[in-house]
Amino acid sequence: MTRLVGLRSHAQIAPFRLHQPTTVAEALALQAAHPGAAFMAGGIDLIGRMKWGEVIPDVVHLGSVAGLADIAQDGASLRIGAGATHASIVESRTVAALLPDLAALWPLVANPRIRFAGTLGGNLMAGQAGYDGMPALLALGATLEGATVAGPLRIAAGTLLPPGALLTAALIPAGTWLLADRSLKPAIIAWLGLALAGDRVAAARLGLGAAHATAVGLDLPLAGTPVSALGAAAAEIGAWVAGAVPEPLGDSIASAPYRRRMAGVLARRLLIRAGARGEG
């Protein structure tokens, strides 16, 4: 359906009931008790949908849920609460200490207005193909934590939460290198994560966004490669990525063959940068 800009306005928002739980259990109970209810944190995407006239009879606002915005070290990992805003991720000393690349790159995500209101959980749960949250977490090898009325759950990033579940946090291995190339957005974006064992790659993951209906993650065949040799391997791995990536979207922004080719190009660029960093 074609949407006309003039039809998107606050006047289109249908009446709704606002619920403000203070615990995860209370939020889940409210969502279960009210068919059609939606969770809301910053509200960037949800309010946008309502401005288009989508009827959401009950909104469960998560701003008062204790602990949902916390950022903390969890063993050898960084735990970022789903309610943490993009700005708080950038400003967190814990993020800077455990994942400095994430702290350095995250200011690229969205504009200041959205960064101060939008949350990591909202970015992930919106399911927008061009958002950076899921490609970055796929690259980082993150695990998602959630809760259901039946109890807590833990799933790999990229796995769909079951109906009625509430995303509560992302758990990310500390010390992972993270690089990004967003120069071809909105056609395609790429995030590269490297887990290291000394001066060699323990695991390499590529997260791609905007090229498919949902973010795509690829495990790159680079285990054991010296970091300083990544530049030399970049062309071969880039060609491998172009062949291995699932069939991309073809639309008015870019064709599927172009997106496939650029997936390989961006992977090559990121590996060259990572190799140069290893040499330094």
Q: What is the pLDDT of residue 109?
A: 84
* 5: pLDDT strictly greater than 50: no
130-143 pLDDT, tens digit per residue, is 999 999 999 999 99
* 191: pLDDT strictly greater than 90: yes
E strand intervals along the chain: 17-19, 38-40, 58-61, 71-74, 77-81, 143-148, 151-156, 166-173, 177-181, 189-197, 200-209, 216-220
| 224/271 same-domain check | yes
**CATH code for position 257:** 3.30.390.50
| 25/79 same-domain check | no
CA-based max dimension of the chain: 59
**CATH code for position 13:** 3.30.43.10
* Percentage of residues of the chain with pLDDT beyond 70: 97
Q: How far apart are CA 254 and CA 260, in angstroms?
A: 10
Q: What is the pLDDT of residue 102?
A: 97
* 30: pLDDT strictly greater than 90: yes
User: In terms of residue numbers, what domain contains 20?
Assistant: 5-61
Please check whether residue 86 is in contact with residue 115, taking contact to mean a CB–CB distance below 8 angstroms.
yes
Report the number of distinct structural domains present in the chain.
Answer: 3
| 135/85 same-domain check | yes
Mean pLDDT, rounded, of the chain: 92
Cα 168 to chain centroid distance, Å, stands at 14
Q: What is the pLDDT of residue 3?
A: 45
Please check whether residue 161 is in contact with residue 167, taking contact to mean a CB–CB distance below 8 angstroms.
yes
| 25/100 same-domain check | no
Q: What is the pLDDT of residue 1?
A: 37
Predicted confidence band at 62 (pLDDT cuts at 50, 70, 90)?
very high
* Percentage of residues of the chain with pLDDT beyond 90: 77
Which SS3 state, helix, strand or coil, does residue 59 take?
strand
Distances (CA, A) of 252 to 4, 110, 186, 245, 258: 18, 22, 11, 20, 12
**CATH code for position 140:** 3.30.465.10
| 39/121 same-domain check | no
Q: How far apart are CA 225 and CA 219, in angstroms?
A: 14
User: Does residue 66 sit within a domain?
Assistant: no
Q: What is the pLDDT of residue 271?
A: 98
Q: What is the pLDDT of residue 7?
A: 60
